[in-house]
Amino acid sequence: MSDATPQFPAPRSQQRVSAGGRKKVQLKPGRSLMDWIRLTKSGKDMTGLHGRLIAVTEEELAKHNKKTDCWMCIRGMVYNVTPYLEYHPGGEEELMRGAGGDGTELFDQIHSWVNYESMLKECLVGRIASRPKTVSEAIENQSGLKAPKQKLLNGTGNLDGFEKQSKNVPLRHEWFQTEDTITVVIYTKQKVINLDSIIVDLESGVLRTEVRQQEYSYILHLELCHEVQEAISVHCSSKVGKIELNLKKRNSIIWNDLGYPQELHNSYKRKTDRGLFYRKCTLLSKTDVSHDTRLLCFQLPPGCYLTISIGQHVYLKSNIQGVEVVRPYTPVLPTLYVDPKDNDLTCTNIYLMVKIYPDGLLTPLIDRLQIGDCISVSSPEGNFKHSQLEGITELILLAAGTGFTPMIKLINFALKIPSFRKLQLLFFNKTEEDILWRDQLDQLALKDKRFTVEYILSEPHPEWRGKRGKIEMSLCSEFLTGRTEELKTLLCICGPTSFTEQAVGFFKRLGFNSEEIHAFSG
Which positions touch ligand NAD (CB under 6 A)? Answer: 1-2, 11-12, 313, 330, 355, 400-403, 405-406, 428-430, 434, 458, 470-471, 494-496, 498-499, 502, 520-521
Sign of CA pseudo-dihedral 298, 299, 301, 305: positive
**Separation of alpha carbons 368 and 382, rounded Å:** 28
Q: Of 264 and 296, which CB lies nearer to ligand NAD in the complex structure? A: 296
CB-based burial label for 390 (10 Å; 0-12, 13-18, 19+): exposed
Give 135's contacts (C-beta < 8 A, 6+ positions apart): none
Strand partners, 185: 174, 244
Q: Which is nearer to ligand NAD, 51 or 358 (CB)?
A: 358
Q: Give least dist CB 71 to ligand NAD, A.
A: 32
CA geometry: angle 244, 247, 250, nearest 5 deg: 165
CB of 405 to ligand NAD, least distance (A): 5
Helix (H) or strand (E) holding 277: none
Q: Which is nearer to ligand NAD, 378 or 393 (CB)?
A: 378
CA distance 204 to 176: 21
Q: Minimum CB separation from ligand NAD for residue 2, in Å?
A: 4
Considering the complex, state which of residue 90 and residue 403 has its C-beta at the smaller distance from ligand NAD.
403
Residue in the shown chain whose Cβ atom is closest to ligand NAD: 401
Closer to ligand NAD by Cβ: residue 393 or 412: 412
Residues 6+ apart with CB under 8 A from 272: 15, 18, 108, 109, 112, 215
Nearest 10 degrees: Cα torsion 287, 293, 299, 304: -160
Ramachandran assignment for 20, one of left (phi > 0), alpha (psi -120 to 50 degrees), beta (any other): left
Q: How far is the CB of 390 from ligand NAD (least distance, A)?
A: 21
Report helix angle 497-509 to 473-480, nearest 10: 50
Q: Please, what is the minimum distance in Å from the beta carbon of residue 280 to ligand NAD? A: 23
CB nearer to ligand NAD: pick between 2 and 166: 2
For residue 398, the cross-strand partners are 426, 493
Please give the span between the terminal C-alpha atoms of the chain, in angstroms, as a whole number. 13
Q: Smallest gap, in angstroms, from Cβ of residue 428 to ligand NAD?
A: 4
Name the minimum Å distance from CB 309 to ligand NAD.
13
φ, ψ of residue 295 in degrees (nearest 5): -105, 115
Query: Residue 505 contacts by C-beta under 8 Å, 6 or more apart in sequence?
Result: none
- What is the C-alpha separation between 321 and 375, in angstroms, rounded? 16
User: Taking a C-beta distance cutoff of 8 angstroms, is the pair 411, 383 a contact?
Assistant: no
Q: Which is closer to ligand NAD, CB of 123 or CB of 353?
A: 353
Query: What is the DSSP pairing of strand 517-519 with strand 489-494?
Result: parallel
Cβ distance to ligand NAD smaller for residue 220 or 490:
490
Q: Which amino acid is at 521?
A: S
The residue among 405 and 424 lying less far from ligand NAD, judged by its C-beta, is: 405
At closest approach, how far in Å is the CB of 504 from ligand NAD?
A: 12
Least distance (Å) between residue 167 CB and ligand NAD: 38
* Cα 488 off chain centre by: 29
Judge whether 189 and 171 are in contact, CB under 8 Å: yes
305 vs 329 by CB, closer to ligand NAD: 329
CB of 112 vs ligand NAD, minimal distance in Å = 17
Separation of alpha carbons 189 and 238, rounded Å: 10
Nearest residue (CB) to ligand NAD, 186 versus 492: 492
Tell the smallest beta-carbon distance from residue 500 to ligand NAD (Å): 8
Among 280, 318, 341, 493, CA closest to 407: 493
